[in-house]
């Protein structure tokens, strides 16, 4: 009986972790934008599911022209969750997600020059993203487009 209870508890806890991750992905899905003080598009981020992968694309604009694109994947590796960035450095850069909920996550890569930390706080119509490390901080207050 005790083994059955323990097995059910593990299944329940595993299901809670999975539903928390599923809810995080649902809350993050969509297109998010930031505009500069002159009303020009500054940054756009898109999150979507494709072929069982949860992918993102970050785009930086200057004077409404695309100047930079990065590709992101939020993925499980073993029992751990990672925020993986491509097209910035020669090799993909992985940030280990230290904690997450349905509305927030914090990821770390102490070996990366900048940022060392990525923190997202998600509301229904906005994302407050903070990237920081080595005494520098960048904040992005993104608003949902769709």
| Domain residue extents for the chain | 2-144
**Could you give the CA distance from residue 100 to residue 103 in angstroms, rounded to a whole number?**
8
pTM across the whole model: 0.86
pLDDT at 64 (0 to 100): 86
Give the H or E element holding residue 130: strand 126-133
What average pLDDT does range 59-88 have in this prediction?
Answer: 96
End-to-end CA distance of the chain: 49
pLDDT at 1 (0 to 100): 53
Cα–Cα distances in angstroms (integers) from residue 74 to residues 23, 25, 48, 65, 135, in the given order:
13, 9, 10, 27, 26
pLDDT at 12 (0 to 100): 46
Does residue 53 surpass a pLDDT of 50? Answer: yes
Contact 83, 98 (CB under 8 A): no
Does residue 2 surpass a pLDDT of 70? Answer: no
- Say yes or no: domain 2-144 is CATH 3.40.710.10: no
């Amino acid at each position: 009986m005790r083994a059955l209870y323990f097995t059910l508890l593990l299944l329940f806890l595993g299901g809670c972790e999975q539903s928390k991750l599923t809810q995080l992905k649902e809350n993050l899905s969509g297109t998010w934008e930031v505009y500069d003080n002159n009303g020009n598009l500054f940054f756009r981020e898109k999150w979507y599911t494709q072929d069982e992968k949860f992918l993102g694309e970050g785009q930086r604009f200057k004077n409404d022209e695309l100047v930079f694109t990065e590709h992101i994947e939020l993925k499980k590796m073993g029992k751990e969750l990672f925020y993986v960035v491509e097209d910035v450095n020669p090799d993909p850069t992985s940030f280990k997600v230290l904690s997450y909920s349905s509305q927030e996550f914090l990821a770390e890569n102490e070996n990366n020059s900048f940022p060392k930390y990525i923190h997202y706080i998600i509301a229904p119509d906005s994302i407050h993203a903070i990237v920081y490390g080595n005494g520098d901080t960048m904040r992005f207050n993104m608003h949902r487009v769709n």
